[in-house]
């Protein structure tokens, strides 16, 4: 979902389908760092379901570029890709906050997210292989 910083800030989409709650609201809701995060994903290639949980989840306010904090990984996957994004600032095509000094991953992959240098977690990006 190639949207602007302002779009990701306030949220967009249909609540019954693809929906982004909004980074401002995510930050407000998770401010006390007492929330858990559960992600259910289905493989495009094989149809398998994967479940990942984090015992604590927080998104810091816009002042900190909506920095992601997740800890306490568990699930039925062998690699914690989102955990690599913990401590990352949110990036969009019009606001580059990723770790790369020579690329804007949100512009390159077409979606806003907390991109780490290895780009293994791209939930809002178009499906491509590296």
- Taking only the tens of pLDDT, the chain with its 130 residues reads 689 999 999 999 998 888 899 999 999 999 998 999 999 888 888 999 999 999 999 999 999 999 999 999 999 988 888 888 899 999 999 999 998 888 888 888 888 999 887 666 656 666 655 5
Contacts of residue 67, Cβ cutoff 8 Å, sequence gap at least 6: 59, 60, 87, 88, 89, 90, 114
pTM of the model: 0.87
CATH class for domain 5-109?
A: alpha beta
Q: List Cα–Cα distances, 99 to 8, 16, 52, 71, 96, in angstroms.
A: 19, 33, 24, 20, 9
User: Contact, 20 vs 11, CB < 8 A?
Assistant: yes
Contacts of residue 95, Cβ cutoff 8 Å, sequence gap at least 6: 5, 65, 106
């Amino acid at each position: 979902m190639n949207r602007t910083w302002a779009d990701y800030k306030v949220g967009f989409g249909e609540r019954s389908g693809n929906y982004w709650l909004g980074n401002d609201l995510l930050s407000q809701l998770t401010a006390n760092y007492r929330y858990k995060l559960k992600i259910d994903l289905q493989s495009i290639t094989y149809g398998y379901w994967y479940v990942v949980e984090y015992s604590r989840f927080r998104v810091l306010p816009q002042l900190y570029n909506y920095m992601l904090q997740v800890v306490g990984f568990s699930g039925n996957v062998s690699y914690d890709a989102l955990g690599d994004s913990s401590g990352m600032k949110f990036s969009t095509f019009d606001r580059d906050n990723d770790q790369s000094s020579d690329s804007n991953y949100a512009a390159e992959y077409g979606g806003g997210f907390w991109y780490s240098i290895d780009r293994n977690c791209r939930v809002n990006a178009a499906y491509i292989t590296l």
